[in-house]
Structure 1
Amino acid sequence: MPKRKAAIAVGGVAALGAAALLLPNANASQDGASTDAAAPRALKATDASGLASQIAKQLGDAFAGSYYDSGKQQLVVNVAGGDDGLAARAQKAGAVVREVANSAAALKTAAQTLKTRATIPGTSWAIDPRTNKVQVTADSTVTGAKWARLESTVQGLGSGMATVKKSAGTFKTFASGGDAIFSQAEGGTVRCSLGFNVTASDGSPAFLTAGHCGVAAKEWSDSQNGQPIATVDQATFPGEGDFSLVKYNDPATQAPSEVNTGNGQNVAITQAVEATVGTNVFRMGSTTGLHDGQVTGLDATVNFQSETDPNGVDTVTGLIQTNVCAEAGDSGGSLFTQDGGAVGLTSGGSGDCTNGGETFFQPVTAALQATGATLGDAGGAGAGDQAGAGDQAGAGDQAGGGDQAGAGDQAGGGDQAGGGDAVGGGDQSGAGDQSGLGGDGTGTGDASGTGTGAGDHSGNANANGHGNGADDGSSLTESH
């Protein structure tokens, strides 16, 4: 009897809410459109990330971050210090150059001050290269003396160094309510989403998901009450990241390098890429399906309220900040680009997919580097070419967030201390009734089980734990 295909296609559930059709080459590079070497180059997002890394190395301390102008398909590079020669060098490389007041060192110092004086549950900060400031966010729990302390700290950084805003939601991890991967913990059923299939350093098939999922439970199944098919090998949360490497128990498991976006569509994942502010990205999760948005910050620090200590804080550093929505159960799910670049793993955030909010993601490049895994089908050709962050342009030269293009300029990701206690079952209980692709209606399924659960649509689940919901006619495109 042939070995079965992996029972979990990456991130797959019915596609919801992100519109019509994936066109892998819609953002194809238009390099060569101009013969003027000093003219800004038209780039697709993945190429912009690589160019940013190269320019960051050339500019050294004068590099003050970068972002991608998706409308013009151009990379914008911030240069501090007023060196016309360095600015000309960045222009010659094909970027749009912008002179800014705040250097990378100054912004990093500001982030360090926030860490020292304002590590408050419900707060986060990241560099916004579009404003050349540290973007500080406080959720709805930061009130009274905590809010006054945060405001005072931000004001003490000096004029033009940081901004602070309120978020209507509450920062939390999204480890309950999903239906892609399941485990039993002390508090009940834990549900998360699979991120990307990978090959472990020993050649065995595995997948990446959120670290707080791996901390909460050791063994994972592809159906609500099914036998475990995978076991956590490594997990990091809180601290310098939020990622887990989970190995399939059967070494012959076929683990395709793709994201199942629903409605019979899959996106082939061909490489791990660095996030760039301004890049359009898609998120796939087992609760809310497919949603899109933009990267808004890099090397973000998030101070989650500890789920095990009412007075504690779980600080996670080095994350990607976005305006893509997510909800409980989407934890660990795939963040990727339109042309098949693996970007991140869903960590947590505030809000939901009705009202919006901020969502944070673990960079895939950093997770690959830390675990020693490679992106791609287990045993498949070319998997070694994705050798994690080590193969990314400029990786290792950036401070803080490590592998992100320009991460060295981002708000102190490398400087943040991991605080708090590891997350246990916590609020990850009570999801036991949700299986297959069911939403607010009844979901029927075969190998995935049958159940009713929280979601948005009813649907039929197949053996992969994915199915076609009532509103499954939509799939991948970029909405603006």
Structure 2
Amino acid sequence: MHPPLTRLAVALALVASAVAVPATALASEGGAPVSALYAQAMTRDLGVDATQVEARLAVELKAAKTEEKLSQSLGSSYGGAWFDESASTLVVGITDAKQAARVAAAGATPKLVKHSVARLSASKNALDRAPRPAASDITSWYVDPATNSVVVTARPGADNAVKDFIAASGADRTTVKVEQATASYHTTIDSFPATEWAIYGGSALLLPNGSCSSGFAVWRASDGVFGMTTAGHCGTVNTPATFRIVNGPLTEQGTFRNSMFPGSGDMAFVSHDSYQFEGTGFVLQQVLDYTGRAIPVDGLQEAAVGASICHSGISTGFRCGRITARNVTVNYVEGPVTGLTQTSACGDFGDSGGPYLAGTQAQGTVSGGDRGCSSGGRITFFQPIRPVLQAYGLNLMTRFGPMPG
């Protein structure tokens, strides 16, 4: 038998180095080459020319950094931001026209809006505190910067339920926009046996009654425990789990050390029980692209609404879409979950807990969605990574070493 660290190194060696597209533009923004499969997935799912993937990701990464700075500097006049794909630029909402010059100087496009993000968030938070509506009537609610509103999605025929929900919340009705939901949303844990893959982001995490996907490698300095993130609905605290290795009989045992679902997150930390991080080195974080290669993780810069994003999981492999909303409350049958991010990528049962990437930047882990890819599903939700790291005192493992949240 290999000692724990050697076994982990053997598993890492099973995935060949990524075939990368040219990376001059991406590298200039602090990114890294992505695999050929990443480019192919964006071409398949988003219609992006494979030769333009590097440039597209570089522009989106730059937009994310600009949004982060402007959201702080604009203060109470900040009205949210989103990436306009057609113009390949970041659009920033402002409630004060005098701030337009500041936005333009940062390289973004200013747009005068009625409501600040603070005002929209107050309405959204009021909805979160209201008595929970039936999941069969109202499926989600979130702040949408592009329409400068709080969007409530509801099933056909639920007009009265929507009216009562908004009234009971006390939310500012002038900020709320109601849209028709195309499907109900469910978590994506799989109750069927999983295929053997590696201990990477996107690989199988076997559970007593089903399977999910592993998310991001993390380390907790306070107790020296190494492990992976995943979705909270995959297991409760002390639930045993098994990590599967690439195309081989080796398995590694794990335990759910922390878990939350439903409520203010769909998050969990699963320890890798036979390996202790001793501070003398670090494990390289990689995500399976499902061609036998892996994608490095370099950081956790949050991507903008409208930016492209991809996830890895045991059921659908590697799938891409765009971020369509942040801070979404999803009204699952098990209960509402706040703080999720919505995307247009499809997913399926077994993808729960799998990692979402924007280029080589960690974004979060799959929570749930609508119909599966084969059934025309085009909505998935993910738990952002930063709240997980902060809640459980974890450091994200990157190829440069541990990174705090």
TM-score (norm 1): 0.65
Distance 1:28 1:260, change over 3 A: closer
Q: Distance in 2 between matches of 1:102 and 1:135?
A: 14
1:27 matched residue in structure 2? 56
1:4 aligns with 2:24: no
- Code of the aligned partner of 1:208: T
Whether the 8 Å CA contact 1:62–1:103 is kept in 2: the answer is: yes
- Code of the aligned partner of 1:387: P
Structure-to-structure mapping, 1:63-102, within 5 angstroms: 63-80=78-95, 82-84=96-98, 86-102=99-115
Whether the 8 Å CA contact 2:310–2:321 is kept in 1: the answer is: yes
2:188 matched residue in structure 1? 174
Q: List 4+ stretches of structure 1 deviating above 4 A.
A: 6-9, 19-24, 151-160, 223-228, 252-255
Distance 1:203 1:47, change over 3 A: farther
Q: Which has the higher contact order (CA 8 A, sep 6+)?
A: 1
Whether the 8 Å CA contact 1:209–1:331 is kept in 2: the answer is: yes
Whether the 8 Å CA contact 1:191–1:329 is kept in 2: the answer is: yes
Distance 1:383 1:369, change over 3 A: farther
Distance 1:288 1:7, change over 3 A: farther
Structure-to-structure mapping, 1:182-201, within 5 angstroms: 182-184=206-208, 189-201=209-221
Structure-to-structure mapping, 1:47-446, within 5 angstroms: 47-80=62-95, 82-84=96-98, 86-117=99-130, 119-122=132-135, 123-138=139-154, 142=155, 147-151=159-163, 153=165, 161-177=175-191, 179=194, 180-184=204-208, 189-201=209-221, 202-215=223-236, 218-223=239-244, 229-251=253-275, 255-306=283-334, 314-338=335-359, 340-353=360-373, 354-376=375-397, 382-384=400-402, 386-388=403-405
Distance 1:241 1:116, change over 3 A: closer
Shift of 1:281: 0.3
Percent identity over the alignment is 30
Write 1 or 2 for the structure with the bigger share of helix. 2
Whether the 8 Å CA contact 1:374–1:383 is kept in 2: the answer is: no
Whether the 8 Å CA contact 2:133–2:165 is kept in 1: the answer is: no
Task: Report the 3-state secondary structure (helix = DSSP H, G, I; strand = E; otherwise coil) of the residue aligned with 2:259.
Answer: strand
- Structure 2: 5+ residue stretches without partners: 16-36, 45-49, 195-203
Number of residue pairs matched by the alignment = 348
Per-residue CA deviation, residues 359-380 of structure 1 (Å, 9 max, x unaligned), is 1110012211222211225xx7
Distance 1:131 1:371, change over 3 A: same
Task: Report the 3-state secondary structure (helix = DSSP H, G, I; strand = E; otherwise coil) of the residue aligned with 2:234.
Answer: helix
- Code of the aligned partner of 1:257: Q
Q: Distance in 1 between matches of 2:347 and 2:152?
A: 20
Shift of 1:268: 0.6
Q: Distance in 1 between matches of 2:117 and 2:323?
A: 19
Distance 1:217 1:120, change over 3 A: farther
TM-score (norm 2): 0.77
Distance 1:104 1:252, change over 3 A: closer
Distance 1:7 1:252, change over 3 A: farther
Whether the 8 Å CA contact 1:275–1:363 is kept in 2: the answer is: no
Shift of 1:83: 4.0
Q: Distance in 2 between matches of 1:92 and 1:217?
A: 51
Whether the 8 Å CA contact 1:232–1:246 is kept in 2: the answer is: yes
Q: Distance in 1 between matches of 2:380 and 2:62?
A: 24
